[in-house]
Amino acid sequence: AQSVSQHNHHVILSEAASLELGCNYSYGGTVNLFWYVQYPGQHLQLLLKYFSGDPLVKGIKGFEAEFIKSKFSFNLRKPSVQWSDTAEYFCAVNGPSGGGADGLTFGKGTHLIIQP
């Protein structure tokens, strides 16, 4: 079955620092890749997604992620974080043998804290 690993469970950064959150998945076939964010007290919402094409995808709020097929990775990046980026970040994969026919398989999440 599909599995998703997020390497950092807790990350603390200062404002203006650069961010990279790691995500690796196990299934080697065709997959769709997502990063979701959950701000304190809010719903999960989509940051960005990759289905095909350019492996460097850009999302909302200055986030981007790079799909590297050979490394089974989809790391999230932001060059300069803000205090408002404090949130829980989830990497997710949609593909055969994962969470049902179309259900997403999620990583355990990374709790990001930005210090002013």
Residue the block writes with tokens 């995808």: 57
Please give, one letter per residue, the 3-state secondary structure of 60-109.
HHHCEEEEEHHHCEEEEEECCCCHHHCEEEEEEEECCCCECCCECEECCC
**Smallest separation (angstroms) from another protein to the CB of 40:** 13
Q: Does 46 bind another protein (CB under 8 A)?
A: yes
Residue 75 has a CB neighbour count (10 Å cut-off) of 20
Stretch that binds another protein, among 13-21, 22-30, 71-79, 88-96 (CB under 8 A): 88-96
Residue 6 vs 19, nearer CB to another protein? 6
Stretch that binds another protein, among 20-28, 64-72, 75-83, 92-100 (CB under 8 A): 92-100
Residue the block writes with tokens 């593909």: 95
In angstroms, the Cα distances linking 28 to 4, 32, 49, 70, 99 are 12, 11, 18, 9, 15
CB 32 within 8 A of CB 25: no
Stretch that binds another protein, among 12-20, 53-61, 63-71, 86-94 (CB under 8 A): 86-94
Q: Does 49 bind another protein (CB under 8 A)?
A: yes
**Smallest separation (angstroms) from another protein to the CB of 46:** 5
Residue ranges in contact with another protein by CB under 8 A:
4, 6, 32, 34, 36, 43-46, 49, 51, 90, 92, 94, 98-109
